[in-house]
Structure 1
Amino acid sequence: MSGAVSFPALVLASTSPRRRELLARIGVVPARVAAPDIDETPLKGELPRAYVARLAESKARAVERGADEVVLAGDTTVAVGRRILEKPADEADLRRMLALLSGRRHHVWSGVAMVDREDRLRVRVADTIVAFKALSAAEIDWYVASGEGMGKAGGYAIQGRAEMFVRFLSGSHSNVVGLPLFETRSLLTAAGVPLG
């Protein structure tokens, strides 16, 4: 058909169900999902903003892309000052993280990267400031026992029980969940991916 527009197929370089749910909010369903295999260890002295941008780019480049595909990848981390809080290694590590976040502000950084059909890379970074109430030992015990914080950057899930600890948030809520939708929409639009 003459003049027909060819839309690229979207590959989500993430197996996170949260990222798929967030994309669905803006009417986007990936054509396929791929798990990028990269080393996520922070580099010595690496700052949180640079860390998430580097990981998002690495994830986007780690996934094979067909000729008519664009790849979207993201990475989110929690930082207290310059200190990057990765996923807790065990319950003791989770307790340490929650004690560190108790009663203070922290940053949630996300990098979003897209490789388009012309193999051009675009990266956006989002920063949200979150403040937790002062957590009692009993509240930390309760949250650790819930199991919700394991496998989550910074040891908590704002879309779950931890939301009741949040006394202040400035910036994108979707960023804290795991994919900043404003920045993501901008990348998808630039790459010609149709929305909703």
Structure 2
Amino acid sequence: MPPSPPPLVLASGSPRRVELLRRAGFSPVVRPPAVDETPRPGESPVDLVARLAAAKATAVSASDEAIVVGADTTVVLDGSILGKPADEEEARRMLRRLQGRTHLVLTGWAVVRRGRVVADGVAESRVTMRPVSEDEIVRYVAAGEPMDKAGGYALQGEGGRFVTEVEGSTSNVIGLPLEEVVPVLESLGLRGAGRGDGR
């Protein structure tokens, strides 16, 4: 009988990341980490998401054989980091800045086994939004969708109506670049039932 594959642990409470991994055929155990996501003074967006992804994955206690995936996503416009909005007013401000323009979505990811990072990376996608009216912004924010999303919108939800183009990985914009992460998981003995990664 072939050995059973190692358990897969997702160091994230994001339902979007869980869904992405499930769509790719994996069955992760969800263990949200307790990690301070505050940027360090002078820290670049790329360094921030890379550091937080590794910190999340290593913060989760798992069995020796478990494979742990950590990820952190942020939106960058004009060099400024747009994380998750603190309240509805901040969500509206973010969307006013993003509408009619192209921004970057960065996701840092890290795969950890036995407390050691075995693979990591930062994926970058460019997202263009159409002009969005103030009324649309107010109604979208009032519906509640933006509140736990980097940049204040969800590509896979109602916020997708504002997006006209995605250059690069769509799954990266949603929260986990499957085309980078899945081959690593497979190299460690995990097998998905099919990619389904939205490339």
Task: Give the Cα separation in 1 of the matches to 2:70 and 2:147.
Answer: 22
Contact conserved, 1:107 with 1:127, CA < 8 A, in 2?
A: yes
Asked whether 1:49 is paired with 2:16, we answer no
Which residue of structure 2 lines up, in the alignment, with residue 7 of structure 1?
Answer: 5
Structure 2: give runs of 5+ residues left out of the alignment. Answer: 194-199
- Aligned-pair CA distance for 1:140: 1.1
Q: 1:77 aligns to what SS in structure 2? A: strand
Task: Give the Cα separation in 1 of the matches to 2:64 and 2:86.
Answer: 39
Q: 1:155 aligns with which of 132, 136, 152?
A: 152
Which residue of structure 2 lines up, in the alignment, with residue 140 of structure 1?
Answer: 137
Which residue of structure 2 lines up, in the alignment, with residue 86 of structure 1?
Answer: 83
Instruction: Compute the RMSD of aligned alpha carbons.
Output: 1.4
Task: Give the Cα separation in 1 of the matches to 2:92 and 2:115.
Answer: 46
Q: How does 1:1-196 map to 2 (within 5 A)?
A: 4-30=2-28, 32-117=29-114, 119-196=116-193
Task: Give the Cα separation in 2 of the matches to 1:112 and 1:90.
Answer: 26
Structure 1: give runs of 5+ residues left out of the alignment. Answer: none
Q: Deviations over 1:45-102 (max 9, x none)?
A: 2111111111100001101121121111111111113211011011110111001101
Taking structure 1 as the reference length, the TM-score comes to 0.93
Q: 2:70 aligns to what SS in structure 1? A: strand
Query: Which stretches of structure 1, 4 residues or more, deviate above 6 A after TM superposition?
Result: none
Contact conserved, 2:171 with 2:178, CA < 8 A, in 1?
A: yes
Taking structure 2 as the reference length, the TM-score comes to 0.92
Q: Deviations over 1:136-182 (max 9, x none)?
A: 11111111111111111100011111111111210111111111110
Task: Give the Cα separation in 2 of the matches to 1:170 and 1:159.
Answer: 15
Partner AA of 1:35 in structure 2: P
Identity, in percent, stands at 49
- Aligned-pair CA distance for 1:121: 3.0
Partner AA of 2:5 in structure 1: F
Contact conserved, 1:110 with 1:125, CA < 8 A, in 2?
A: yes
Partner AA of 1:195 in structure 2: G
Task: Give the Cα separation in 2 of the matches to 1:164 and 1:119.
Answer: 40
Task: Give the Cα separation in 2 of the matches to 1:74 and 1:5.
Answer: 28
Contact conserved, 1:125 with 1:183, CA < 8 A, in 2?
A: no
- Aligned-pair CA distance for 1:118: 7.7
